[in-house]
């Protein structure tokens, strides 16, 4: 448990979500609206309309895990996306910036050397 890291795939739901939903309702939303498999290992990110609450849903060995964070002040800043669909993939660092309250609009990423992961 508590095993989110950069090796996982993160999928952001672009439409505001009623976050009174629990495990089963969010799994249904992943299947029907996003066309993804909730048990496929991806981490699904949902944000409410006012962007004050976020939920992350993912499957771990043995069961589903749901992380829930509500801000007492401020709003989550969503990453800029270039997708016309209902969801899009985001990077681990984008999720961390969202949760930590770092504005993605004013932040620029400097070019860094990155070794591509080996594929078998």
Give residue-wise pLDDT tens across range 4-17.
Answer: 888 899 999 999 99
> Which residues, in sequence order, are bridge partners of residue 64?
59
pLDDT at 101 over 80: yes
> Predicted confidence band at 22 (pLDDT cuts at 50, 70, 90)?
very high
User: Given this model, what pLDDT does residue 109 score?
Assistant: 63
């Amino acid at each position: 448990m508590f095993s989110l890291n950069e090796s996982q795939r993160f999928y952001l739901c672009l439409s505001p979500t009623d976050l009174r939903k629990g495990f089963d309702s969010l799994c249904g939303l992943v299947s029907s609206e996003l066309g993804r498999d909730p048990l496929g290992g991806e981490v699904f990110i949902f944000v409410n309309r006012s962007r004050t609450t976020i939920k992350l849903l993912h499957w771990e060995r043995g069961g589903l895990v749901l992380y829930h964070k509500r801000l007492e002040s401020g709003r989550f800043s969503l990453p800029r996306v270039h997708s016309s669909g209902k969801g899009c993939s985001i990077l681990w660092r984008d999720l961390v910036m969202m949760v930590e309250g770092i504005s993605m609009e004013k932040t620029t990423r400097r070019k860094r050397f990155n070794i591509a992961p080996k594929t078998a």
